[in-house]
Amino acid sequence: MPPIVAEIEQLRNRILEMGALVEAALGNAICSLRERTGFPATEILASEPKINHLEILIDESATRLLALHQPVAGFAGLRYPDRRYL
């Protein structure tokens, strides 16, 4: 498997993990509002550092992927004699 595929898969897994945590936190927030109790709210606060950490990892991974694997544009004048495309 090429390294970029492994990196994309790792990024995908982190996004899915963060999505699951956010979904659970949202469910707890709705439950807390409905029942007017503080217990689910404490679970939300407990999961927030993990969500924030995953957000930073995802941002760094996506930036690294884009920086290292983005296509490089050639000189457009060689392909398009019409300078309007520059």
Range of the domain at 30: 8-66
Kindly state whether residue 47 falls inside one of the protein's structural domains: yes
The per-residue pLDDT for range 19-52, each reduced to its tens digit, is 999 999 999 888 888 888 777 778 888 999 999 9
Kindly state whether residue 16 falls inside one of the protein's structural domains: yes
Q: Which residues neighbour 69 within 8 Å (Cβ) at sequence distance 6 or greater?
A: 4
Kindly state whether residue 78 falls inside one of the protein's structural domains: no
More confident residue, 75 or 50: 50
Kindly state whether residue 31 falls inside one of the protein's structural domains: yes
- 82: alpha, beta or left? (left if phi > 0; alpha if psi -120 to 50): beta
Q: Which residues neighbour 51 within 8 Å (Cβ) at sequence distance 6 or greater?
A: 18, 21, 22, 25
Instruction: Name which of 14-28, 41-55, 70-84 the model is least confident about.
Output: 70-84
Q: Which residues neighbour 40 within 8 Å (Cβ) at sequence distance 6 or greater?
A: 28, 29, 31, 32
Q: What is the pTM of this model?
A: 0.74
Q: How many domains, the chain?
A: 1
Kindly state whether residue 20 falls inside one of the protein's structural domains: yes
Q: Output the average pLDDT for the chain.
A: 84
Kindly state whether residue 15 falls inside one of the protein's structural domains: yes
